[in-house]
Amino acid sequence: MSPELLALFWDSFLETLAMVGTAGIVGALVGIPLGVALHVTDAQGILPHPWLSRTLGIVINAVRSTPFIILLVAVIPLTRVLAGSSIGTAAAIVPLTIAAAPFIARLVETALREVDRGLVEAAQAMGATNLQIVSKILLPEALPGIVAAFTVTLVSLVGYSAMAGAIGGGGLGDLGIRYGYQRFLPEVMLLVVLVLIAFVQIVQSAGDRLVRKLSHR
Amino acid sequence: MIELTNVSQHYIDGQGSLTHAVRDVSLQISAGEIFGIIGRSGAGKSTLVRSLNLLHRPSSGTVRVAGRELTALSPEALREARHEIGMIFQHFNLLSSRTVYGNVALPLELAGQSRTQIREAVEPLLELVGLAAQRDRYPSQLSGGQKQRVGIARALASRPKVLLSDEATSALDPETTRAILDLLRKINRELGLTIVLITHQMQVVKQICDRVAVMDAGRIVELGSVLDVFRQPQQDVTRALIGDVIAHELPSGILERLRRQDVGAARLLRLAFVGDEVDRPLLSEAVRRFDLDFSILHGQVDEVQGQPFGSLTILTRASQATIAEASAFLAEHGVTTEDLTAQLLPAASTTGSPHLTLLRGDAVPLATEALNRVA
């Protein structure tokens, strides 16, 4: 493999890291509060608002059921406002984040649902406010589940980021398609796949180790 | 300390029909008392105990605890008032993400106390419940009894005046149950805490309660000192519950045999002894004085509320007059006599065995009498 190609490979890897990392973190910042909102506004939650809960649920399902390649182009006007351009790595981060947030929200909601209702009842009996129930009971108890959710999201984002090439986002997936497939360089394709496999393995096992460390059940 | 006035609680259940969990309950519990609420599952006791700290707000009626009418408080004032009411639970409800220390510290953290204040409060509590050595363990590393000790320490952290116990020993084995109840008794005496505990186990009531209320279908059907209720249970449900711990009712096998034998003019009597009478040779005195002959069919002497309590079912062929005289003599010394002869009639065939209505999910005690005798 030529040095130019190797340099390109390294740049693509960094682009993938930037897209997955940024979308993951911003997605979590939006998705975790969204998941908490879904959980507490549920009919069985501590702040029941069935209509709000249902509306949020519908929006989240709508985003999650839109194929990513369509989401990528559908949000271009918004991307242009937020990233200043509709092409490039920064532009790809906007749709990736929009896809990640509802994904995390659903997984966080599931993790919160696993927290025993008795704990919430005990906290209420101690005179806890709703904010304290969220911050002292629900989030700490669901933390292992939330970390697991974040891990799963990062892994999914690696897959999504491969489609970012469609709007010039770059990244390893794009490199594989353009060089490996379109220029008939199977060794590039193979290396892309191997690097992605290794990357996902590292993310997943780091996540698993963290979950084990956090979980005292 | 606690005053419930006409408390009712009803809600619409999953099928959309109206369920009355608690019906028009009025109740006064004095300071320093250990008050038991017993009933089969579904009797409404769980809902009732949750109305004491308004985890379930009653549909109607008022709740006063420690001089404050909880039902009239604003949400903030209610949260404040809840610091005075500790609660422990059947499944402990400890945070798995916090250590023993962290769990006990939680109510103080919620109340906004400083780290040093918290340490000064938590450490003596861990000593009190005997868990000082386990302070850095997580709940998953503890036994059931230890978990409940953490629950108790946590409930005491905010220095409450009242402790509510929701089936706190139902998930524990008999030995651990006894240890936890001893701890509750100790707390009650040393800290002067009022304890309200709900249970379906008469064993619990027998061991530590001062007074007991029996609940059935959302109502309190019987209320009194534990000794009185044990001595003269008024309701079938109470008799059945007492039958779990004391050989009170005649086993149906013996009753069947008596019915078949046709005992003629014999009378079936139950004698209940409480306190010092158990020690005195009252029966042999009665035998000598009234020339009384009888056979003992069934009975047990046990301890209720720290006092000896005995129940004896006898069959006698003595004359009506002799029996009346003997009963009067025994009554003078505090032994109550109950005539159960009617149970010998075939028509009364249902009265022999405890009146159990089993519901789906009920815990069914198996061979408890045999076990009690061994214990």
pLDDT single digits (tens) B29-44:
999 999 999 998 888 8
Q: Please say whether the beta carbons of B202 and B242 come within 8 A.
A: yes
Q: What is the pLDDT of residue B370?
A: 46
Average pLDDT over residues A129-158: 96
Report the C-alpha gap between A149 and B208 in whole angstroms.
48
pLDDT single digits (tens) B243-262:
877 777 778 888 888 888 77
Average pLDDT over residues B332-359: 66
Strand partners, B87: B164
Grade residue B278 by pLDDT with cuts at 50, 70 and 90: low
Cβ within 8 Å, pair B110-A141 = no
Kindly tell me if the per-residue pLDDT of A122 is higher than 90: yes
B138 interaction partners in chain A (CB closer than 8 Å): 216
Q: Please say whether the beta carbons of B95 and A140 come within 8 A.
A: yes
Q: What is the pLDDT of residue A60?
A: 95
For chain B, the average pLDDT equals 86
Q: What is the pLDDT of residue A167?
A: 87
Nearest CB to A118; choose among B85, B93, B106: B93
Cβ within 8 Å, pair B93-A119 = yes
- Give the DSSP letter string of B131-162: -GGGTT--GGGS-HHHHHHHHHHHHHTT--SE
pLDDT single digits (tens) B181-209:
999 999 999 999 999 999 998 889 988 99
Contacting residues for B296 by C-beta, under 8 A, at least 6 apart: B312, B313, B314
Task: Give me the amino acid identity at B318.
Answer: A
pTM listed for this prediction: 0.82
What does the buried/exposed string (b/e) look like for B248-280 if buried means 16 or more CB atoms within 10 Å of the residue's CB? bbbbeeebeebbeeeeeebbbbbbbbbeebbee
- Take residue B241 and report the two structure tokens written for it: 């519950």
A127 interaction partners in chain B (CB closer than 8 Å): 78-83, 107, 110-111, 158
Average pLDDT over residues A78-87: 92
B87 interaction partners in chain A (CB closer than 8 Å): 122, 125
A121 interaction partners in chain B (CB closer than 8 Å): 55, 89, 93
For chain A, the average pLDDT equals 93
Choose from A45-54, B16-25, B230-239 the range with maximum mean pLDDT. Answer: A45-54
Count of all residues that appear for chain A in the document: 217
Q: What is the pLDDT of residue A124?
A: 95
Q: What is the pLDDT of residue B351?
A: 45
Report the C-alpha gap between A8 and B65 in whole angstroms.
74
Nearest CB to A126; choose among B96, B106, B139: B106
Nearest CB to B107; choose among A126, A129, A141: A126
Kindly tell me if the per-residue pLDDT of B350 is higher than 50: no
Kindly tell me if the per-residue pLDDT of B366 is higher than 70: no
Q: How far is B190 from chain A (nearest CA, A)?
A: 22
Report the C-alpha gap between A176 and B176 in whole angstroms.
65
Nearest CB to B93; choose among A116, A128, A143: A116
Q: What angle do CA B40, B44, B45 make, to 5 degrees?
A: 75
Query: What ipTM was reported for this prediction?
Result: 0.87
Average pLDDT over residues A124-136: 95
Q: What is the pLDDT of residue B254?
A: 82
Q: What is the pLDDT of residue B129?
A: 94
A116 interaction partners in chain B (CB closer than 8 Å): 91, 93
pLDDT single digits (tens) B114-126:
999 999 999 999 9
- Give the DSSP letter string of B66-103: TTEEGGG--HHHHHHHHTTEEEEETT----TTS-HHHH
Cα A192 to Cα A13, A18, A188, B27, B83, distances in angstroms: 9, 16, 6, 75, 60
The candidate with the shortest Cα–Cα distance to A97, out of A20, A16, A32, A196, is A20
Grade residue B375 by pLDDT with cuts at 50, 70 and 90: very low
